[in-house]
Amino acid sequence: MPDLLRPHWFQILLSLSSGTMHGSAIMDEVLERTEGRMKLWPATLYGSLRDLEEAGWIQDSVPPPDAPVEGGKRRFYVLTPSGERVLREELRHMHAILEEARERDLLGDAGAV
């Protein structure tokens, strides 16, 4: 059974699954989606982006047409096919864990579909 992805990697991949984004936008999106539980501080965020790039899971992208032009050198990122695969595997993996938990009735009411 493979290990889970590091939590912030997972969250970044999940953010990018909805489209092209730059660093600060990822930070905001993750913060909002996790209801403030995960704040990606800048050095951690960009370190992770670099790790994910080196792993070949994300890559640089042209800015989306609706992106504001100000702000100079903002870099935009997009999931690579292998990144999408890793994310999908991870989600499946989580899903399996959840299924298991549900079968053992570990979730209580929250487990109801």
Binding site for other proteins (CB under 8 A): 3, 5-6, 9, 22-24, 27, 41-47, 49-52, 54-55, 70-75
* Both tokens assigned to 65: 């047409």
Q: Which is nearer to other proteins, 31 or 91 (CB)?
A: 31
Contacts of 29 (CB under 8 A, 6+ apart): 15, 21
Q: Which is nearer to other proteins, 75 or 95 (CB)?
A: 75
The minimum distance between CB 104 and other proteins, in angstroms, equals 25
CB pairs under 8 A, 24+ apart, for 65-72?
A: 67/22
